[in-house]
Amino acid sequence: MIVTRFAPSPTGLLHLGHAYAAITAYESGDDFLLRIEDIDKGRSRDKFIQAIFYDLKWLGLSWDEPSLRQSTRMGAYAEALVNLKAHGLVYPCFCTRAEIATEIARAGEAQHGPDGPKYPGTCRALSLEEGTQRIAAGESYALRLDVAKAAALTGALTFREQGHVHAVDPFCFGDIVIARKDLPTSYHLAVVVDDAHQQVSLVTRGEDLLSATHIQRLLQALLKLPEPAYAHHSLVLDEEGKKFSKRDGAVSLQSLREAGETPADIRARIGL
């Protein structure tokens, strides 16, 4: 039985790109889950969660109720963190964005990852003593994964993408943030913990998240979680050839509906 999921963040209204991702996930499995990725309290809104339910039902999708909300799962993420910490794979990082930028400028060059320059590793070298002191003094900190240590522990990894086996590049993002300054988790940690918890066996999502698979496979191996298969689909582009984005105020499904379009019109627009 193939279990797929659609995992939107309720930070805006769904647009055509989401419709494509949701329908693809729905049609790729036997069992379809909806997961609300609302760890970012500052940007998530209840009204957008309600709009997600409404839009997906309107498109004719149904899912196992109740849908999982990541904001209710902080305990599970904290447990995974304890596990990673126990293996000595995590270190506190006190750097601000500005300090990271200054350090990169000082070094004169930076390695780049999918999200921009990689973290230069400033806090990796802090002694346990200094880290403990700064935490006790109330300095805010994120937790980063020591990727070199992690990769040494797991050895070479692969992921399965639509029938092909690819090598994992655990270093592609550098030492990623595994728990944000304000949360016991980050996007990557929450996703792998929940994909396992919900027994997702096929992760379908846009190809903009293909690179995330490298780090997510590393986390799965470290946490001894099952390995799902992956299918990254190409992105729906707008008339100018750009990917739809909530931030650009891309035309929402809600506004298309209000303008009289039907679910069939939506499918036609995205070539389904």
Task: Catalog residues that contact ligand GLU under the rule CB under 6 A.
Answer: 7-9, 37, 191, 205, 209
Report the nearest approach of ligand GLU to the CB of residue 164 (Å). Answer: 19
Instruction: For ligand GLU, give the closer residue by CB, 7 or 196.
Output: 7
Report the nearest approach of ligand GLU to the CB of residue 35 (Å). Answer: 8
Instruction: For ligand GLU, give the closer residue by CB, 8 or 120.
Output: 8
CB 219 within 8 A of CB 154: no
Instruction: For ligand GLU, give the closer residue by CB, 7 or 84.
Output: 7
CB 189 within 8 A of CB 81: yes
Report the nearest approach of ligand GLU to the CB of residue 53 (Å). Answer: 16
- Angle at which helix 46-58 crosses helix 16-28, to 10 degrees, equals 60
Instruction: For ligand GLU, give the closer residue by CB, 24 or 100.
Output: 24
Instruction: For ligand GLU, give the closer residue by CB, 124 or 233.
Output: 233
SS3 3: strand
User: 195 Cβ partners below 8 Å, 6+ apart?
Assistant: 5, 203, 216, 225, 228
Instruction: For ligand GLU, give the closer residue by CB, 9 or 28.
Output: 9
Report the nearest approach of ligand GLU to the CB of residue 191 (Å). Answer: 5
Report the nearest approach of ligand GLU to the CB of residue 187 (Å). Answer: 7
CB 107 within 8 A of CB 120: yes
Report the nearest approach of ligand GLU to the CB of residue 15 (Å). Answer: 12
Strands 3-6 and 229-233, bridge-based pairing: unpaired
User: Using CA atoms, how far apart are residues 100 and 247, in angstroms rounded to an integer?
Assistant: 25
Report the nearest approach of ligand GLU to the CB of residue 205 (Å). Answer: 4
Instruction: For ligand GLU, give the closer residue by CB, 209 or 251.
Output: 209
User: Using CA atoms, how far apart are residues 134 and 112, in angstroms rounded to an integer?
Assistant: 29
